[in-house]
Amino acid sequence: MHKIVHIITRLDMGGSAQNTLLTCHGLSKRYEMVLVHGLSLESQMTDREKESVDRGIEKAEKSGVKVLSIPSLIRRIDPVCDLRAFISLLRLLIHERPAIVHTHTSKTGLLGRWAAKMAGVPIIVHTPHGHVFYGHFGNVISRFFLVLEKITSPITDVIIALTEGEKNDYTAFSVLNPDKIITVHSGVDTDRFVMPHMNIKEKKRSLGLDPDEPVVAAVGWLLSIKGPEYLLKSMADIWPGHPEARLVFAGKGELEDELKAETSRMGVSDRVLFLGWRDDIPEIMQIIDVFVLPSLNEGMGRVLVEAMAAGKPVVASRTGGIPDLIKNGKNGFLVEPGDVKDLSFAINRLLADRKLRDEMGNRGRAMARNFGVEKMVEKIDGLYCALLSDKKPGDRKCV
């Protein structure tokens, strides 16, 4: 069996970490899989969140994945820790002698790919899980990362984009030859979000919501790049016409306190519910009437597939890979990133039309079947086979 080493900064309940765990678990019978990660301290996980992550790691280990941690492999930029992490990765890769190194996310992609190159690893693959060329940082830092990515691209055999939108950005920024970029959508266990027999009214009551109140919700990190503040601001235009509507945030992040302070300043604390991190997201999805993802940049947005699988209409930003999933006017509405008026108009339209919500939700549920875990694993397996057989990256057929 060929040995493949996956490297990621942190294992938490975020999309990139879950995508990586599912890939390692899904391919553990075909390859000797090694998963290297940091300690994930920056995620500030709750006990329940850590328990969920530990269960995922335990499942991967039981399937045969070798899981290793490097304490110095952290998400933030720290020259001392980054040097230590690089040396640790170099030593590990020299010892493990893998056929393929597959790195995940931007910073780990830089450290891991150069460590793999210096260790003599024959094949190097990278999945950015959403680039940082715009939206995440200011112009100076964004350009810095772009330059580093261009310097690193010659040692990269293949970059896996989660969507065509992400692939097009890599091409537009002249990061890598298009022939070395393939698209593999992030896999989601869509069956978990189909719950036709759940008591929605009882679930609402358990959360302190009136069973008859319409719910507008966002699920995910409360970070600037995710744009939760724009959703909150947009509700100021929605409540005059829909005073019964409730806004729900399920997730945590550095903006949580700021958002709570803003709801208090707006005098709408009784209309906004902060759930924090939850391990019952499939159930939370069932109570939502309009799902919103107002990101400023997004590699793909796995949570969109989850919402679609639950049969929910979506309002999301026209950015990154989101248009790959949300077809404007079909399973939701696309709006300009950061445009509060555009956002409120789309949400208002859905709140006012139950039939439209149902039609879009049904179309979304049907479309979600294209983003299953099995398809993702099959495509990545095909890529590995092609690379190991010295075929072109786009030729993913392999016996």
Q: Is residue 392 exposed (0-12), middle (13-18) or buried (19+ Cβ within 10 Å)?
A: exposed
If asked whether residues 175 and 261 sit together in one domain, one would say no
If asked whether residues 183 and 207 sit together in one domain, one would say no
pTM above 0.75, yes or no: yes
Strands 290-293 and 272-276: unpaired
**Owning domain of residue 223:** 190-370
Q: Is residue 396 part of a domain?
A: no
If asked whether residues 217 and 160 sit together in one domain, one would say no
What is the predicted pLDDT for the residue at 132?
64
Work out the angle at residue 94's Cα, subtended by the Cα atoms of residues 89 and 100, and round it to the nearest 5 degrees. Answer: 80
Q: Is residue 303 part of a domain?
A: yes
Longest dimension (CA), the chain: 64
Q: Is residue 393 part of a domain?
A: no
Burial 173-197 (b: 16+ CB within 10 A, else e): eebbeeebbbbbbbbbebeebebee
DSSP per-residue letters across 51-87: HHHHHHHHHHHHTT-EEEE-TT--SS--HHHHHHHHH
Q: Tell which residue, 136, 109, 111, 137, has the closest CA to residue 125.
A: 109
Q: Is residue 399 part of a domain?
A: no
pLDDT band, residue 396 (cuts 50/70/90)? very low
How many domains does the chain fold into? 2
Q: Which of 1-10, 72-81, 227-236, 262-271 has the lowest mean pLDDT?
A: 72-81
If asked whether residues 211 and 273 sit together in one domain, one would say yes
If asked whether residues 34 and 145 sit together in one domain, one would say yes
Distances, alpha carbon 181 to alpha carbons 209, 266, 395, in Å:
46, 46, 12
Query: How far apart, in whole angstroms, are the C-alpha atoms of residue 85 and residue 138?
Result: 26
If asked whether residues 236 and 308 sit together in one domain, one would say yes
Q: Is residue 315 part of a domain?
A: yes
CA-based end-to-end distance of the chain:
14
Q: Is residue 178 part of a domain?
A: yes
Q: Is residue 152 part of a domain?
A: yes
If asked whether residues 147 and 205 sit together in one domain, one would say no
For residue 305, the domain's CATH number is: 3.40.50.2000
Q: Is residue 397 part of a domain?
A: no
What is the predicted pLDDT for the residue at 47?
78
Q: Is residue 228 exposed (0-12), middle (13-18) or buried (19+ Cβ within 10 Å)?
A: buried
What is the predicted pLDDT for the residue at 328?
97
If asked whether residues 332 and 248 sit together in one domain, one would say yes
What is the percent of the chain with per-residue pLDDT over 90, rounded to a whole number? 68
If asked whether residues 207 and 61 sit together in one domain, one would say no
